Amino acid sequence: MVELSAQYSPHEVEQKWYSFWKEQGYFKPNMNPEAPTFSIVMPPPNVTGILHVGHALNNTWQDILIRFHRMLGDNTLWLPGTDHAGIHTQMKVEELLRSQNIDRRSIGREAFIQEVWQWKEKYGGEILRQVEKLGASVDWDRLRFTMDEGLSKAVTEVFVRLYEEGLIYRGNYITNWCVSCRTALSDIEVEHDDEKGTLTFIRYPLVDEPGEIVVATTRPETMLGDTAIAVHPDDPRWNHLVGHQVKVPLVDRIIPIIADTYVDPEYGTGAVKVTPAHDPNDFQMGERHQLPQIPVIGEDGRMTEAAGPYQGLDRYEARQRIIKDLDERGAIEKQEDLIHSVGHCEKCGTVIEPLLSLQWFVKIKPLAEPALNAVRMGAIKFVPERFEKIYTNWMENIRDWCISRQIWWGHRIPAYYCDHCDHVMVAREAPEHCDVCGGPVHQDEDVLDTWFSSALWPFSTLGWPDQTEDLKTFYPTSVLSTAYDIIFFWVSRMIMQGIHFTGQKPFTTVLLHGLVRDSQGRKMSKSLGNGVDPMDVIERYGADALRMALVLSSAPGNDQRYSDERVQAASHFANKIYNAIRYVRMNLPENFVLKPLNPHHVEDVWIIQQLNQTIEKMTAWLHEFEFGQAARAIYDFLWDDYCDWYIELSKIRMREYPSDADEVLSTLIYVAEQSLKLLHPFMPFVTEELWQSIPHEGESIMIAPWPEVMPLSHQEQALATMDRVKSLIRAGRNLRAEVNLPPGQRVQFFAVADNASVLGDWRQEEVAIRELLRAQDIAWHVKSEDVAKPHHALTGVALGGSLSLLLEGVVDLEKEAARVKKMMDQTQAELERVERQLGDQKFLERAPEPVVAKAKAQREELVSRITRLKERWEDLQ
């Protein structure tokens, strides 16, 4: 057995036991073919990342599930890995090279990729080292990376198959373009924020008759690429002009007025400019009306040659110059301030520019329908269930997915182009020459969207497309645990790709956690400076304390507020149970033999029944993913029932009845060992340290069996007795506290039971009651007409009766009477204030119903308090 030091040191304990678990191979699945299978693939954090509190919460949830199912005896796998994070990682390495005055283009693609791999080897494992510090029991031998050989093979296979099935295509379409990252982005990589803007009303003169049509726009610079003006066909203000032409100011291009039902007559003037090369909706109108496409903003965010005199200007500089020129020509009718939604690059924060570009796309609708049905039919369940609606709404309105990225770091698109005839080949292996004309070929320069590879994560990590033993055993996985804000990015795509390529769902349950916000409820961010570094918290309090604090405040789908005070409280809890087990150890004789339990004493039956109830509740809650409730159950049991009650009762019993010592110690150890197992998934380190220090069976608490309920007899009577005894002791302690008695001062009590049964329960535990109340004597009575209430006493209510503290000779009666009278007067004044409020008809009519109800409840409480104080004051006279 492990010797416990005088003080608990989480850092020494945590490092010691994590190394022990890894060395012993406890993180591996047992591969028992007869056991149920439980598997989770860790959401791969970015290789550029460091652990934040959201990661800490999610990894703790997953570790709880893994440790729980491992103790249940399941064949359990938690597979770790990281994501190559294409744009983020490239930005990091480019920044490093710039600090050395090196531009990636000057060294070329191959050399740059080598730099990225070197950076990844040096810095890319930091987040995994932090995951270890948190205590995650993942199978490190199965660690995967989205760019490793096996996963790269899976990515190529998926791309080729989708292409062969006609579900991947290439074309010129409007995409979200980041002029800083110089790449296209998918819709869900764009973050929309409300910003102040200006709506400029521009006059477009009619060509064939006097007059004009006024168009409102927030982006005047794009007017240089206008190829039509659109109005709603039913708008009486403008429909008579359909078929006429206008002249685009500044460039004097002649363009038509067209009718299209897309136009909202309520927006602006009811007429809109159509710029097919710079707006997705304009692009669609342009396709319908066969309009030309004129790109006037380039990939660098500067105006193109088609912008004429504005060529080379930054888009915002051009905007100001164009507004000035329009105003000088009298082409601006007016300008209005407005708040509108503006898209920003999720990676760097730059305002997105919708640009026409040649990209690769995935047809989503054919993939989305089976994925929708899997959720509708209940094959995949969302926890909480309310997120199914969000998933369904997104999937029903999903658009084709732009998967090509104009960067170098990532999975290069397996498409090859003939240098002679432009023939396109998509292949698993690079062709040596064109299969049409035999000419030389070159590979597409673009890479795939990072989410393309992570969409395959549940099955590619297990060996797909090869039919590996891991794939057969652990797929479909059991649970995907992730943040609710990633449903669109990742969850939906995994479901689509998993079903399409394996014929099976990728997981059974999607478990969604909320955001961890700061203490004021704000989202943590660098700009606010309110972030919390989990490594700093672990350094101060230990991983167990951080884990427990996060879990106690968590519920599926709900945000929570981080609180350093909760972490401190969890640290105090670890110290409390550590000291409790140290007390048990200190009382064990050297030759102590654990006695088989056959509990019959009321205290022993009670504590084991409390343990049984905790086992039942926790097992059910863990299966239902209610981690917060499960954590609270074991926290309350250990703190209240075991430490504050049973251990204190055991001290008295072993002192007063030495012959009971072996039975008491055996019960203490049994309950401790079972409780530590229940706590282990939440606080793995301290529980291993304490479990190893008491008599036990097995090598590690990690692989010990999950506790089972012990059959008991007479447990209902034991529970009733202990409830009455505890209630009496609490009443007595409250009375002592009310008159500020020193802890060691012995006093007299007067107990009145409602009936003989209650009195029997109290007398059965009389020794314990007397010691815990520091009572010199207790006068025991059954309620009857002959039992008079004692004079000069403070009385409290207990379950099944009452308890009075005799004050004569204990406190100064006159001072106590004056204190009670003052309390009574203060309470009376407060009652009068509430009565005036409730007597005000305006208050009753205008105040919200809950406010009025609260005031009425307060009045009732104050009346009751005055009654009690008056009785006490009269007793003191």
Binding-site residues for ATP sit at 526
Q: How many CA atoms lie within 13 A of 398 on its CB side?
A: 28
Residue 33: how many CB atoms within 10 A of its CB? 8
3-state secondary structure of 582: helix
Integer Cα distance of 424 and 527 in angstroms: 47
Rg of the chain over CA atoms, in angstroms?
A: 37
Crossing angle of the two packed helices 53-71 and 126-134, in degrees rounded to 10 = 50
Integer Cα distance of 313 and 101 in angstroms: 26
* Direct distance between the N- and C-terminal alpha carbons of the chain, in angstroms, rounded to an integer: 62
Integer Cα distance of 450 and 404 in angstroms: 9
Crossing angle of the two packed helices 492-502 and 365-376, in degrees rounded to 10 = 100
How wide is the angle at C-alpha 676 spanned by C-alphas 673 and 679, nearest 5°? Answer: 155
Integer Cα distance of 465 and 310 in angstroms: 52
Known binding positions:
526
Integer Cα distance of 797 and 102 in angstroms: 80
Show the beta-strand stretches assigned E in 444-515: 447-448, 477-483, 507-513
3-state secondary structure of 507: strand
Q: Is-contact 627 383, C-beta < 8 A? A: no
Q: Which residues contact 138 (CB under 8 A, 6 or more apart)?
A: 27, 42, 66, 78, 79, 80, 131
Integer Cα distance of 803 and 242 in angstroms: 93
Integer Cα distance of 374 and 215 in angstroms: 46
Q: Is the CA virtual torsion 556, 561, 567, 573 positive or negative?
A: negative
| β-strand partners of 383 | 511
Q: Which residues contact 748 (CB under 8 A, 6 or more apart)?
A: 775, 776, 777, 778, 779, 805, 806
Integer Cα distance of 273 and 201 in angstroms: 11
Maximum pairwise Cα distance, the chain = 116
Residue 486: how many CB atoms within 10 A of its CB? 13
Indicate the helix (H) or strand (E) that contains 496.
helix 492-502
Look up residue 490 and give its DSSP letter.
I
How wide is the angle at C-alpha 265 spanned by C-alphas 262 and 266, nearest 5°? Answer: 120
Integer Cα distance of 44 and 144 in angstroms: 9
| Residue found under tokens 């199912």 | 69
3-state secondary structure of 45: coil
The one-letter amino acid code at 811 reads: V
Residue 578: how many CB atoms within 10 A of its CB? 21
Q: How many CA atoms lie within 13 A of 698 on its CB side?
A: 15
Crossing angle of the two packed helices 53-71 and 543-552, in degrees rounded to 10 = 90
Q: Is the CA virtual torsion 295, 301, 304, 307 positive or negative?
A: positive
Integer Cα distance of 56 and 533 in angstroms: 10
